[in-house]
Structure 1
Amino acid sequence: MQDPTFPNIIFFAIPFFVIAMLLELYVTAKEGIKTYESKDAFSSIAMGLGNVFLGFFSKALVLLAFFYIYENFRLFTIPIVWWSFILIFFTDDFAYYWFHRISHECRLFWASHVVHHSSQHYNLSTALRQTWSGGFYSFVFWLWLPLLGFHPGMIILQMSISLIYQFWIHTEAIDKMPKWFETVFNTPSHHRVHHGRNPLYLDRNHAGILIIWDRMFGTFQPELKDEKVVYGLVKNINTYNPISIAFTEWIDLFKDFFSGRKSLKNRILYLFKPPGWRHDGTGQLSDDLRKEWLESNGNGS
């Protein structure tokens, strides 16, 4: 049986991305909302272009891994029919939630994901600020899908659909969607929270398309009108240089791993503990900052 082929929908979405950014710029400027800063936007676009270029190599690795598992170890053979697309919609989104959550809770994955949070602005160009390194190893969160029996082409297609969906939620031009939509789906309001450096908002709302996973697993936080989102990192890197944006956290991680007098166990823990962890107990995790905020300000609902 010949393997099915699926279109590269990211390629077809590029004109939509450009038109949407121009429309957002027009709408926000008309409303007097300054969301774009030229150097920041160009940095984000440069990161996106680098991601696309490196994607030629990382996607080859991902497909190779998916096909290897699918051809040799799959438990079932899931046919490519209408109901399997519904099934992969939910399984892919579930995989994305855990990839995204662990990317905030494990420094090894944060080292690549931090790129997406490094902008202190929030607009559609921020959606393009993507990692140059994550594509080479973050796919491990999806390896169980070809093991179940999903065709690798289906998996890549659904991952692309998820990526395209998440583009439009990077905006301040949309306040709230209808309540039913906010209950089920990831929205600009939910994702603004995710990009906030406010202690209350740290490491919340890891959703891809469906916000239901955050509600189920205790990581949901609504956007509060009296707690305006401040974008960026707890400690901002303050650079527009794409090379620095891509690799600053990797350099800091390697410094923590190799430098100083510490046990091998503590060196390894720097790879797997959350950002902010220090072996001498002097670090503060996002949970610590959030707890302090809640003790001072209430329950955050």
Structure 2
Amino acid sequence: MSPERSPVWLAMMLALVLAEVAWRMHKGHGYDARTALTTLGIVAGNIPFAALNALLLGGLFTAAWTIAPIRLPLDDWRTWAAGFLAVEFAYYWFHRASHRVRWLWASHSVHHSATQMTLLSSLRLGWTNLFSAGWIFYVPLVFAGFDPRLVFGLLALNLRYQFFLHTEAVGRLGPMEWIFNTPAHHRLHHASNSAYIDRNYGGVLIVFDRLFGTLAIERPDEPIRYGLAHREATANPIRLALREWSYIARDAAVARGPRQLARALFGAP
């Protein structure tokens, strides 16, 4: 489900990252080189997992498409409009569950581990997304008649859009904030402050956060702190990618009975 890594897209990302570095240094915010290197380590480790995900999930979604009871026409703009809303809806619930279900959080926590909010930090993606099975949220879209190519294409656009949200260089954007996810909304989503945790789950849109009561706005008296609320910071990419799974395994091993085991695996992080 990763967006295509085209040369033009990579060149634009690099140019924006460098521009943001210059902006942060000029503003006196600093740029943590160690954090950046950790992110690059996570990216490098994620490459083989992303390839495996594409292969296996492509086959799985194609198989689901072969037995889908209906098939909406891919050449109809209404299919794409409806598909956009459907993918945004599924992404909202996938993202919300990734913060509320420990099994999903084990992968998603990697994305929240950076202690600076930068464009580069958007590339911190877990290596175990296939195993944590967040893709289950998108399978119903295929059975609803949406071609897997549409689902994957819109998810790729969703992720590309979110690259631009991971920055402190853009302030509030006025009326746009009512409908779209913006850097201001997403900065708060990455906060580790207890007042802000588990808010603003949207991808491109923020409307589902408004509808389901998970929208929050940064308060002047509560500056955002980034990083993980109850985990120490580490620069080790492998530890970041796997440590939540080790904690789950530890708690599952000492669980007494099915209820404790279920809580260890699927309870709140």
TM-score by length of 2: 0.94
| SS of aligned partner of 1:166 | helix
Residue number among 10, 17, 24 corresponding to 2:20 in the alignment:
24
Deviation readout 1:30-77 (Å, 9 max, x if unpaired): 12222x211111111221232233111111111111111111133333
Q: What residue number does 1:33 align with?
A: 29
CA distance in structure 2 between the aligned counterparts of 1:51 and 1:138, rounded to whole angstroms:
16
User: Superposed, which structure 2 residues align to 1:126-141 within 5 Å?
Assistant: 126-136=121-131, 137-141=133-137
Residue number among 86, 96, 100 corresponding to 2:91 in the alignment:
96
Q: CA deviation at 1:80?
A: 2.7
Mean Cα deviation higher: 263-272 or 45-54: 45-54
Q: What residue number does 1:285 align with?
A: none
> Residues 38 and 236 of structure 2 are in contact (CA less than 8 Å); yes or no, is this contact kept in structure 1?
yes
Q: CA deviation at 1:269?
A: 1.9
Q: What residue number does 1:256 align with?
A: 251
Letter matched to residue 37 of structure 2 = F
Letter matched to residue 15 of structure 1 = A
| SS of aligned partner of 2:163 | coil
Please list every run of 5 or more consecutive structure 2 residues that lacks an aligned counterpart in the other structure. none
Residue number among 39, 52, 61 corresponding to 1:57 in the alignment:
52
Residue number among 186, 200, 218 corresponding to 1:223 in the alignment:
218
Equivalent residue pairs, number: 265
User: Superposed, which structure 2 residues align to 1:118-197 within 5 Å?
Assistant: 118-136=113-131, 137-177=133-173, 179-197=174-192
- 1:213 to 1:236, Cα distance in 2 relative to 1, 3 A: same
CA distance in structure 2 between the aligned counterparts of 1:146 and 1:152, rounded to whole angstroms:
6
CA distance in structure 1 between the aligned counterparts of 2:130 and 2:76, rounded to whole angstroms:
28
Q: What residue number does 1:267 align with?
A: 261
CA distance in structure 2 between the aligned counterparts of 1:76 and 1:151, rounded to whole angstroms:
7
The structure with the largest alpha-carbon Rg is: 1
> Residues 39 and 124 of structure 2 are in contact (CA less than 8 Å); yes or no, is this contact kept in structure 1?
yes
Please list every run of 5 or more consecutive structure 1 residues that lacks an aligned counterpart in the other structure. 1-7, 276-301
Q: CA deviation at 1:218?
A: 0.7
CA distance in structure 2 between the aligned counterparts of 1:140 and 1:93, rounded to whole angstroms:
14
Residue number among 222, 234, 240 corresponding to 1:239 in the alignment:
234
CA distance in structure 2 between the aligned counterparts of 1:29 and 1:66, rounded to whole angstroms:
45
CA distance in structure 2 between the aligned counterparts of 1:75 and 1:270, rounded to whole angstroms:
39
Letter matched to residue 45 of structure 1 = L
Q: What residue number does 1:296 align with?
A: none
| SS of aligned partner of 2:18 | helix
Consecutive aligned runs of 4 or more in structure 1 exceeding 4 Å deviation: none
> Residues 59 and 135 of structure 1 are in contact (CA less than 8 Å); yes or no, is this contact kept in structure 2?
no
> Residues 72 and 79 of structure 2 are in contact (CA less than 8 Å); yes or no, is this contact kept in structure 1?
no
> Residues 46 and 127 of structure 2 are in contact (CA less than 8 Å); yes or no, is this contact kept in structure 1?
yes
Letter matched to residue 14 of structure 2 = V
CA distance in structure 1 between the aligned counterparts of 2:102 and 2:196, rounded to whole angstroms:
19
